[in-house]
Amino acid sequence: MPTDTLFAKIARREVPAQIVYQDEVVTAFHDINPVAPTHILIIPNKVIPTMNDATDDDAALLGRLMLTAQKIAKQVGIAEGGYRLVVNCNPDGGQSVYHLHVHLLGGRKMTWPPG
């Protein structure tokens, strides 16, 4: 299991990013290739490569990611209009960075299915 990722370096502030929220458990920052007017990534500071690697011990952490997304959506003004949360898992799911992360997408009408 990797212990160091680009996202871990962002959380440690070794790599620059537009961080919008950080605490001892999670870090959130703007995606460098946004697919919506608001596109923020929310990561656990602990490296979990994929959703498949999460365990029962990570349940509180996974909940914290969701509640952080809710808080940021309110903070950036997209909560009332609506937003989408996405977690990609492995190549067929569209995951490209192997550090679990939640995409917070908003600022426009989302379509379904997503792709």
Q: What is the pLDDT of residues 66-79, one digit of tens each?
A: 999 999 999 999 99
Q: What b-and-e string marks burial along 53-81, b requiring 16 or more CB atoms within 10 Å of the CB?
A: ebeeebeebeebbeebbeebbeebebeee
| Domain CATH code at residue 52 | 3.30.428.10
pLDDT for 38-62, tens place per residue?
A: 999 999 999 999 999 999 999 999 9
pLDDT surpassing 80 at residue 24: yes
Is 112 a domain residue?
Answer: no
**pLDDT mean across residues, the chain:** 95
Cα–Cα distance measured from residue 13 to residue 62, given in angstroms and rounded to the nearest whole number: 22
Q: How confident is the model at residue 4 (pLDDT cuts 50, 70, 90)?
A: confident
Q: Amino acid letter at 84?
A: R
Give me the domain span that covers residue 36.
Answer: 6-106
Is 113 a domain residue?
Answer: no
Helix (H, G, I), strand (E, B) or coil at 32: coil
pLDDT surpassing 70 at residue 114: yes
Number of domains making up the chain = 1
Active site residues: 101
Sheet holding 26-30, edge to edge: 19-22, 26-30, 38-44, 102-106, 83-86
Q: How confident is the model at residue 18 (pLDDT cuts 50, 70, 90)?
A: very high
